[in-house]
Amino acid sequence: MSLNLIKLCVGAESIEDLETWIAFRLGEMRRAGEPAEQFHTTRMVPKRAEALLDGGSLYWVIKGNVQCRQRLVDIRPFTDADGIGRCHLVLDPRVVPTDWQPRRAFQGWRYLEPKDAPRDLGEGRAGWTALPTELRRELADLGLI
């Protein structure tokens, strides 16, 4: 059975901002001759990696709301130059918009059961992503989306 992670997307103002950052980093890697793959570095290694890699995603909290997800491709523990254990969460670079779900700030990442995860925006509701970010945020604050 699959399992997900949820994490704050620190520094991103919107889904579009996250997508721009991903494209920039992948371009830098290509120019440097490195394999172009997107990953997020974290300190802790998930103990439930097998369930996460069975179709799980990393759900991003942007400005107080879960707004999107990226499929988890791999989990790679490593030790950095200072001897500190870390982990690369390797992600599919495609960002999938989801229903907005309010979340309070927290540190690190948390497990997210599939039953508690917001739905992907479907064909009939994809128009929400066409709205300006500020309008979406205001509607979410009012509890309308």
Residues forming beta bridges with residue 46, ordered by sequence position: none
Phi-psi region of 72 (alpha: psi -120 to 50; beta: other; left: phi over 0): beta
Model confidence over 37-93: pLDDT tens digits? Answer: 999 999 999 999 999 999 999 999 999 999 999 999 999 999 999 999 999 999 999
pLDDT surpassing 70 at residue 143: no
pLDDT surpassing 60 at residue 126: no
Question: Which domain covers residue 18, as residue numbers?
Answer: 4-141
The pTM for the full model equals 0.85
CA distance 139 to 145: 6
- Three-state DSSP at 75 gives strand
Number of domains in the chain: 1
Phi, psi torsion values for 50, nearest 5 degrees: -60, -45
As given in the structure block, the two tokens for residue 76 are 């790679």
Among 92, 6, 93, CA closest to 42: 6
